[in-house]
Amino acid sequence: MNINFGLFADLPPVPGVKKAPKGRDRKAALARRALADCAAWLGLRSAA
């Protein structure tokens, strides 16, 4: 199954970095955020 990363909300700005991540770095950051949110929703660990 494919993922459409265009449907995800934008990443919050990172202090000290002028440009938002692009390409694979952006997709990896979105996936990390989604996994953390899913784990928090399941109660596996606290929300960050």
Euclidean distance between CA atoms 13 and 41, whole angstroms: 23
Euclidean distance between CA atoms 7 and 14, whole angstroms: 21
Give per-residue pLDDT as tens, 21-43.
888 988 888 888 888 888 888 88
Q: Cβ of 22: how many Cβ atoms within 10 Å?
A: 8
Handedness of CA 40, 16, 9, 27 (dihedral sign): negative
Which SS3 state, helix, strand or coil, does residue 24 take? helix
* Amino acid letter for position 37: D
Give per-residue pLDDT as tens, 1-25.
677 777 778 888 778 887 878 889 8
Q: Which pTM does this prediction carry?
A: 0.66
Ranges assigned E (strand) in 1-48: none
